[in-house]
Structure 1
């Protein structure tokens, strides 16, 4: 890679030579001396031009990652005292800055993003500037680094429960008698009852002569089994013009899959925080699902699997919906732009599962659309509304993630409490 003269230095040398010639022919030594200074400085700085090329590479940052913020460090090595560092993200030029370089320098690069999943953080290149800015190098080979952005869960309030609870422990009261829950009834003492369960007040009131003892019986605690199903067959943004795939959505616009990842991570965090078991499956790809589990490690697995979920070519048409554990609560995250997700949700509901369909279609922008495009979008909306109405007729509960989901989920949780035996 060759170093070339900078344009400003070349212009200064040419102007200086002109002044020297004019001063010599006009007999003006002062003018000749004035022009000699940039000529001498230009040639001197050109002889001192570096002989090696600048280089740059991007490394991971040592700072603690923050949701929505990506940090890397660009290490710039340049033989010149100054380097012009350019940072690009996608098809946009984010920043271009002149920095002083003493051999090498580490520059922090911070990028704010609303997207999740695998993405390129930034592309960095450097152009060396020689002493006196008399020479410049060609831009170095660009260096980039990719990062896997995990979805950040948002806090949710009350969450609905499945019709049946499972397990011998948990955070919810079941219909079975046991220990740990609320009062079930007061019953005469029977073989197998523990002595510490004797209610002496009731016994004294009903059997003062102690010919019969009464014990307090409680409800047993159980856990909910939840399966999250993400429809990764398509990823659409707020602008319908980008749905054809010829242009990508704007980086500042979260797509439907970004909303699905955040919604699934939030629901998983809410249930796992209560001690329930949560699993994950993908409606768009036929792969081994993440089985239901509990704890903080399960939340980390789910967030990592959600970040890796993305459309992969032409989706396979399923002959049957994914298998769901008995008595599980199913959460389906989809845009419902076609019949596939609606048919699967209806099949699960007919099998006896409680199904919550989460609509993750972003708020659309249609002001800039032409008349034909608005008509096509209107027909698509009509078909989609009919599809969602059909799901409601099949007792599939609907939640729009863009419209205050906490309020809708609290309503579904109250509906759970009104069901006989749902949470008791």
Structure 2
């Protein structure tokens, strides 16, 4: 591809200085001054004639190296017959600018650290060729960019709350039904269907020394929990309230409420799936088919991928009724609770008998730079939000704030349900 090359300012200044020195040396009869001017003049003309005929080409390709959590990786491929000045920026922020020696093709690793999740632009790369001796520069090459899908990285959680009723014939939790695998339920006289290995000979010897009756130990059955994670994707607000109207973008180095919701939901999904429970996912801000409850490592991958694709889609839709849930499921709702929609569906689910855990994902706000009117508006918003959360607490909806040690609050809710194994509250 033929590209227009222009003489650089440094080379043009060198040629001008060389001509001036030659003229001064000739007029004054000073050969030493003329020789000083000949060197930059000859070098400038020689380097200008050696300028390349083609410009640089830059590409962004996927990297073969697996990126670590919170990082994005790609390879910057530069094709040029000479050196290249490469610039990398992300959004309005310049990340790097480097001089690269290229003779043909060169591949440069690009690593970008981010606290954001979901679909986003990895970087925007542009290049400008520099000829031999920096005597010429090419037109900037067309910039290239590459989008990436950043999956939320789950964080480890401790004990997690359980739904009021457990389901299934296997699992990691003790239920109220008789079966095998759980703790001692009672000691009962032997009846048809009991296994011989269940006979408790100590109790039998104490109660029936003549062995006219045998006693067996009965246990609680193990069961699994069904958990539905509901993410409210209608709000994606940052710590700065001045960015909420959308005219000013939030800082790229600060996670938004939707980033926190994705991380919180992924962490809860990993915690329940590690226990052998079944976890599903639904989006309160979009009318689409939910991800049904399932178990295993592949289910966690599906949930993380679906969470990464969750984003605000146009004007928020008002649902005529809350999403349908499996019977006896535990509901974890991740929202900012800046309006009544999330609180309304949480109250409907609680009245239907589900155990509902409301996870507040509003980031810590910065209000010092706000004006008087903005402070008043934030005060009204905060008062309405606190009233909303208080109404949920009155309905026995359990509240967890993700920005303030969520593992401690979740462990407290888990201990609250251990009063009676598998019992409804």
The interval holding the TM-score normalised by the smaller chain is: over 0.9
Q: Which residue of 2 aligns with 1:221?
A: 222
Aligned-residue offset at 1:183: 0.6
- Gap runs ≥5 in structure 2: none
Matched, 1:67 2:85: no
Aligned-residue offset at 1:154: 0.3
Q: Which residue of 2 aligns with 1:358?
A: 359
Aligned-residue offset at 1:419: 4.9
The correspondence of residues 101-140 of structure 1 with structure 2, limited to 5 A, is 101-140=102-141
* 2:31 pairs with one of 26, 29, 32: 29
The correspondence of residues 243-262 of structure 1 with structure 2, limited to 5 A, is 243-262=244-263
Aligned-residue offset at 1:93: 1.1
Alignment partners' CA distance in 1, 2:391 and 2:207 = 56
Aligned-residue offset at 1:422: 3.1
Alignment partners' CA distance in 1, 2:404 and 2:288 = 32
Q: Which residue of 2 aligns with 1:142?
A: 143
**CA-to-aligned-CA distance 1:159-178 (integer Å, 9 cap, x gap):** 00000000000000100000
**CA-to-aligned-CA distance 1:33-85 (integer Å, 9 cap, x gap):** 110111011001101100011110001111112110111110011122x1100
Q: Which residue of 1 aligns with 2:408?
A: 407
Q: Which residue of 2 aligns with 1:212?
A: 213
- Gap runs ≥5 in structure 1: none
CA contact (8 A) 1:162 1:422 kept: no
Alignment partners' CA distance in 1, 2:364 and 2:93 = 24
Matched, 1:86 2:87: yes
Q: Which residue of 2 aligns with 1:163?
A: 164
Q: Which residue of 2 aligns with 1:6?
A: 8
Secondary structure of the residue that 1:98 maps to in structure 2?
strand
After TM superposition, which residue ranges in structure 1, 4 or more long, deviate above 2 angstroms? 418-424
Alignment partners' CA distance in 2, 1:246 and 1:205 = 80
Q: How many residues align?
A: 423
Alignment partners' CA distance in 1, 2:111 and 2:293 = 36
Q: Which residue of 2 aligns with 1:46?
A: 48
Matched, 1:154 2:180: no
Aligned-residue offset at 1:308: 0.2
Alignment partners' CA distance in 1, 2:44 and 2:423 = 85
CA contact (8 A) 2:174 2:421 kept: no
Aligned-residue offset at 1:315: 1.5
**CA-to-aligned-CA distance 1:311-366 (integer Å, 9 cap, x gap):** 01012110000000000000000000000000000000000000000000000000
Alignment partners' CA distance in 1, 2:87 and 2:317 = 42
Alignment partners' CA distance in 2, 1:194 and 1:255 = 57
